[in-house]
Amino acid sequence: MPRRHTERITSPAATTVGRITTTGRRLPGEGGLTEVLQLLVNGLAAGCIYGLIALGFVLIYKATEMVNFAQGDLLMLGAFAAYTYIGLFGLPYWLGFILAVLSMAIFGFTLDAVVLRRVIGQPQFAVVILTIGLGFIFRSAATLIWGPDIRTLGTPFSNSISQFGPIVIPDVNLSIIGGTLAISGVMYGFFRYTKLGVAMQAASQNQLAAYYMGIPVRLVFSLIWAISAGVATVAGILLAPVSLIDPSTGFIAIRAFSAAVLGGFTSLPGAVLGGLIIGVIEQFSALYLDEGFKDVAAPVVALIVLAVYPQGLLGQRQRKRV
């Protein structure tokens, strides 16, 4: 690896010649600032999706100390729900969007109230296996209901682009970034300023004390699952025009998982930040590094960051005085 690196610095032309140009590998700076900005925007868009999925992981983990390995499959179900409303029933995009998010929120709520509430307090591996199992069930159910084919979702943003100076951005990416900004804003306001939002934080921080305050903790946890499923659905719908919809769409959550870990796994802003970092790294490594690095670069960076900051970037440090 070092060999190739020096080669590149000394004679950029020579190295590019021998390579298969179709992989799109290039050298930093070759395309100029425009290319870097272009990649950055694309990376941010991808990162937003990771960030939204990571938000779901963190929300549930903070509240119930469960790692929900079915988070990606909630995203997949959400995308299929939107496809059903918009593609099959022919509803307008925004109406279908809202209905899909609402249906999935109800689904998340019920999932917690009926299934997951029972494993609270059980050993961690029981929870892990349960959520992995739920993921399998969701994928099979999706295959049974919608079939294994790849579906497309027509959106108002598909097939159009916006130009900002020299940078060309597909509107789909803009919708992803805009949607993530909106969700982050709503979540910040909700958790910061509403009584229910603060009560959710309280229930996550000290369950027993929350009971003493008269907070209906179980209901609050189910609501957190509802929010988490709703956010996953938003991510799924925003992602749909880019990655298309099929029962294995949810595997994207594996990469979002490293985003959540990178951000500290207990911090909502950290989840979004981690997502953005992973997204940008993936874009740049796909273009400037050898093939295969795209999938490895992000986890490697996450590992390095965690070695330096074991709490993650924005992880909460428990400060308790006696």
Partner 1 sequence: MAEPLLQVRNLETYYGPIVAIRGVSLDVHAGQIVTVLGANGAGKTTILKTISGVMDPQKGTVLFEGRPIQKMNPDKVMRLGISHVPEGREVFPFLTVQENLAMGAFIRHDRAGIARDTDMVCDYFPRLRERFKQPAGWLSGGEQQMLAISRALMARPKVMLLDEPSLGLSPLLVKEIFEIVLRVNREQKTTILLVEQNANVALNVADFGYVIEVGRIVMEDTGPRLLEKDDIKEFYLGLKEQSARGGRRWKKRKTWR
Provide the binding-site residues for partner 1, judged by CB under 8 A: 195, 198-199, 201-202, 205-206, 208-217, 316, 318-322
Least distance to partner 1, CB of residue 188, Å: 15
- Amino acid sitting at position 119: V
Nearer Cβ to partner 1, position 160 or 206?
Answer: 206
The structure tokens listed for 56 are 């779901």
Least distance to partner 1, CB of residue 211, Å: 4
Nearer Cβ to partner 1, position 23 or 206?
Answer: 206
Nearer Cβ to partner 1, position 3 or 321?
Answer: 321
Least distance to partner 1, CB of residue 219, Å: 9
C-alpha closest to that of 70 among 157, 161, 134, 116: 134
Least distance to partner 1, CB of residue 199, Å: 6
Nearer Cβ to partner 1, position 9 or 193?
Answer: 193
Least distance to partner 1, CB of residue 212, Å: 5
Nearer Cβ to partner 1, position 16 or 201?
Answer: 201
